[in-house]
Structure 1
Amino acid sequence: MTSSRRARRVEVARIVPAEASVAFSWVADLRTHPRWIVATRLAGPAGPGPEIGSRYTMASGPGARRDPGSAMGRLVVPDRMVVEQLERPSTMQARVGRTRLRKLGPVLLGDAGFDVVPLDERRCRVVWWEEAHLAGPLPRAVTDPLVGLFLRQFMRISLSRLSRRLERPGR
């Protein structure tokens, strides 16, 4: 029996040294994620840039970067997602950029996304949030706290990497 309650929200934010539209292009386009998200690669074809309805499978875990040409291996979790929301930010209009992805399993279900808050022409605040839970078979009361701890650390490290990446000229 599956629970219909929402997963506990995990959220990590970081001020990054880039104009909001630049940061948004990095977080909204899953094809750039392997360049800054820890132990992650795009599994399958990249397709065009993000659009509502675009589907992606990311492979995450300790073995994700070892052999990108192989099928999912041990210690690699497939994360299938579909883009459900894309709202580009505007520094001039102080408009927050938002992207939301629906996680389709087979391991994680729920929603995830990024909010990009313009601060000025050279900085923005990137908020990465996840409302994801394990598909089963263990009860969510047991797994949600553990998933939350893991996600929070994973997100902190990855946003730190994004910030360092955006500091570099030519990125």
Structure 2
Amino acid sequence: MTSSRRARRVEVARIVPVDASVAFAWVADLRTHPRWIVATRLEGTAGRGPELGDRYTMASGPGARRAPGSGLGRLVVMDSMVVEQLERPSTAAARVGRTRLRKLGPVLLGDAGFDVVPLDERRCRVVWWEEAYLAGPLPRAVTDPLVGLALRGFMQLSLGRLAQALARRS
């Protein structure tokens, strides 16, 4: 049985050398995630994206970059989600861009998202946060600390890759 309490928030931030609108385009559109999120691939096809209500399934883990059915399937977490919030940033108006995804399982449940905070026309702060937890069967009191630790490392490495990719493009 899954508890209705909120998951622990894991948050990682990085200053990236591009305007907030550019960073937002990369973090809000899940089609770009395999370019910078470690060991991740998009399952299936995606439309124009991102739009409210869009549904995506990401495969993450050591075997994620391999073609489906090529082995190591047990080392891949399937993460289905739906886009529930999209607010584009504005440097001129000092408006933070926000995207929020609801995780639908089967392994992870909860929420995740990105906040893109404009600093000036050439820099912004990208905040990746997750309030995700394992769907079961172990109690969340046991799994939450481990999930948080794994997420933090995964997110730090991936945001570093995002900053490098965006620096090369600017």
User: TM class by shorter-chain length?
Assistant: over 0.9
Whether the 8 Å contact between 2:114 and 2:126 is mirrored in structure 1 is: yes
Is 1:159 the counterpart of 2:159? The answer is yes
In structure 2, stretches of 5+ residues that fail to align are none
SS at the partner of 2:75? Answer: coil
Instruction: Please tell me whether the aligned partners of residues 63 and 71 of structure 2 are also in contact (alpha carbons under 8 angstroms).
Output: no
Compute the displacement of 1:73 (Å). 2.0
Structure 2 counterpart of 1:136, one-letter code:
G
The equivalent of 2:48 in structure 1 is 48
Size of the alignment, in residue pairs? 170
TM alignment of 1:115-126, pairs within 5 A: 115-126=115-126
Point out 4+ residue stretches in structure 1 off by more than 3 angstroms. 68-72
Instruction: Pick closer, same or farther for the CA change 1:17–1:58 going to 2, 3 Å.
Output: same
In 1, Cα distance between the equivalents of 2:117 and 2:102? Answer: 21
Query: 1:89·1:117 contact (CA, 8 Å) conserved in 2?
Result: yes
Q: TM-score, with normalisation over the residues of structure 2?
A: 0.96
| Structure 2 counterpart of 1:35, one-letter code | R
In structure 1, the gaps of 5 or more residues are none
How far apart, CA to CA, are the structure 2 residues paired with 1:32 and 1:16?
Answer: 16
Describe the SS at the equivalent of 2:127: strand
| Deviation by residue 1:108-154 (Cα, 9 ceiling, x = unmatched) | 00000000000000000000000000000000000000000000000
1:32/1:124 Cα in 2 relative to 1: closer, same or farther (>3 Å)? same
What percent of counterpart residues are identical? 84
Partner of 1:87: 87
Taking the aligned partners of 2:67 and 2:121, their CA distance within structure 1 comes to: 39
Q: Normalising by structure 1, report the TM-score.
A: 0.96
**Counterpart residue identity of residue 144, structure 1:** D
Q: Does structure 2 retain, via aligned residues, the 8 Å contact 1:41–1:68?
A: no
Residue aligning to 1:39: 39
In structure 2, the residue matched to 1:148 is 148
Distance 1:69 1:91 in 2: 44
- What is the deviation of 1:45? 1.1
